[in-house]
Structure 1
Amino acid sequence: MDFHLVPRGEDRNYTGFLTKTIVYTATLIVFFVSFGLTVSSIVVPKWVTYHNTEPSFYYSYGLHRRCSSVTGQCQSFPQREDCHGGDRYFCSMWRSVGFLMSFAVVLEGMTMVAFLIILSGGKRLRESGWKVLSLLIILSAVVQAASMSLVAYLFDNEQRFFVGWRLDESWIYCTVSWCVSLFCAAVLILAAQTLPSEGGYELIPDHS
C-alpha cells in the first residue's frame, strides 16, 4: 500500500489561520495597553507622594522629576546635590529604577515589533513566534516587577518617606502593567499548547 501527501482541508487551514491571527491581534491590543501604562509610569511624576491638608500642599517624586505645589514647579531629580553623603545610596537606587523602566520600554517596543512581524508573516512564524514573544513579554514584566519592588523597598526603609507619604499612581501603573504583560504571555503560551495547527499535509493510503 502506497501513501501520498495531500493538502489538508482548506476550511481547517483557514480556521487555524484565523484563530491564531485573532489570538495574536487581541494579545497585541492588550499588550499595547500595558505599554501605555509603562510609559505613563515614567512620564507621570507620582511614584511616591506626600499630601498635607492644613495647610494644603503636596510633594511628589517621579523617576526623573520632583514636583511641589509650594513652588508650583517640577525639577529634574535626582540632581547632583541629592547624591552626596547619606543620600548617595537612595540616589543610586532611584536612578537604577529609572534605568530599569527605560529598559522595560525598549523590551516592550521590541515585543510590539515582533508582534507585527509575526502577524504579517507566514504559517511558520505564527506557529513558532509565540516563543520569542512570550520570552520578551516575561522579561519586560520581570524588569518592571523589579522596579516596583525597589521603589516599595525604598518607601519602606528610607527616612525621607515618613508618615503621610504613599505609593501613588505611577507605582500602580507599573504594577498593573507587568501584571497585564504576564497575562498576555500566559495567553500566548496557552494558545500555542491548545489550539490546533493551521494544517499542512497529511498521509492518505493509496488503494490502487
Structure 2
Amino acid sequence: MTRRLVYGGGLLAFADSGNHIHYTYGLHRRCSSLTHTCSPFPQPVDCAHDRYFCSMWRSVGFLMSFAVVMEGMTTIAYIVIMAGGKQKRESGWKVLTVLHAVVAVLLGASLSIIAYLYDHDDRFFPGWRLDTSWVLCTVSFAAVFLIGAGLLSTALLLPSEAGYELIPNYADEEE
C-alpha cells in the first residue's frame, strides 16, 4: 500500500509542474518555451521534405501581409471620402465596398489554408490547437465582411444626403 501512495504522490508532484513545454508557430517564425528563443519558420530543412506545406504556409504569410496593406488602403480611403465633399461621399461607397471585399477574400483564403493544414498536415497532431491569432483573424474577417455588406446595403437603401446640389455644367453640354 505504501508503494502506491509513494508512486502516486511522485506522479502528482512531477507530472504537472506547471511548466509546459510548447511551441508557438507564427507566419514567419517558431518560438520554443524550452529554449526561450525564436527561429525563422519554415526552415529549409522543413521544406526539404515537404515543399507543399512550405508553399502553403508561405502563401498564407503573403496573403496576410497583403491583407494588412489593403486594410491600410481602406483606412486611407475612408479618410479621403470623409474629408471630401458630398460628391465623394455619394460615390465613395463603391471604392470602399470593393476594398472590403478584397480584404475579406484575402483573410478568408488565409483562414481556409490554415484550417486545411491544421486538419491534414502531420505537424499538427491531436492535442494541438489554434490560438489567439486564429481568433483575431476570424473576428477581423467577420468584421470586414459585415462592415462591407453594411456599407453596400446602406448605400443602396438609404436616400441621398441632403444639402447642396451640384450645379449643372452647361459648358460641357454645349460642346
Q: Normalising by structure 1, what TM-score?
A: 0.68
After the TM superposition, which of the residue ranges 145-154 and 166-175 deviates more from structure 2?
Answer: 166-175
Say yes or no: does 1:111 pair with 2:74. Answer: yes
| Cα distance in 2, alignment partners of residues 53 and 80 from structure 1 | 34
Identical counterparts, % of pairs: 57
Pairwise CA distance, 1:114: 0.6
Aligned pair partner of 2:38 in 74, 89, 110: 74
Query: Would the alpha carbon gap of residues 109 and 78 (structure 1) be closer, same or farther in structure 2, given more than 3 Å must change?
Result: same
Kindly provide the amino acid, as one letter, of the partner of residue 60 in structure 1: T
Task: Output one character per residue of 1:113-165: Cα deviation in whole Å (capped at 9) or x when no partner.
Answer: 11111011111110110011011011101110110110010011001111111
Query: Structure 1 residue 53: deviation in Å?
Result: 5.4
Q: 1:56 aligns with which of 20, 40, 43?
A: 20
Higher radius of gyration, 1 or 2:
2
Deviations 1:7-57 (A, max 9, x none): xxxxxxxxxxxxxxxxxxxxxxxxxxxxxxxxxxxxxxxxxxxxx957621
Question: Which consecutive residues of structure 1, in runs of 5 or more, have no partner in the other structure?
Answer: 1-51, 202-208
With normalisation by structure 2, the TM-score equals: 0.80
Q: 1:80 Cα deviation (Å)?
A: 1.7
Counterpart-to-counterpart distance in 1, 2:104 and 2:152: 15
Whole-angstrom distance in 2 between the partners of 1:150 and 1:131? 29
Q: CA deviation at 1:59?
A: 1.1
Higher relative contact order (CA 8 A, sep 6+): 1
2:134 corresponds to: 171
Aligned length: 149
Q: CA deviation at 1:82?
A: 1.7
* Structure 2 Cα separation of the partners of residues 162 and 119 of structure 1: 49
Structure with bigger strand share is 1
The one-letter amino acid of 2:148's match is: A
Aligned-partner Cα distance in 1 for 2:16–2:86? 60
Q: Distance in 1 between matches of 2:94 and 2:120?
A: 39
Does 2:94 correspond to 1:141?
Answer: no
Q: Describe the shift of the 1:76–1:53 C-alpha distance in structure 2 as closer, same or farther (beyond 3 A).
A: farther
RMSD in angstroms over aligned alpha carbons? 1.7
- Alignment-mate amino acid for residue 90 of structure 1: F
Structure 1 position 183, deviation (Å)? 1.2
**How many Å separate the matches in 1 of 2:161 and 2:88?**
11
In structure 2, the gaps of 5 or more residues are: 1-14, 167-175
Counterpart CA distance in 2 for 1:182 and 1:163 is: 31
Report the 3-state secondary structure (helix = DSSP H, G, I; strand = E; otherwise coil) of the residue aligned with 2:39: strand
Query: Matches of 1:148 and 1:115 in 2, distance apart?
Result: 26
**Secondary structure at 1:63 match in 2:** coil
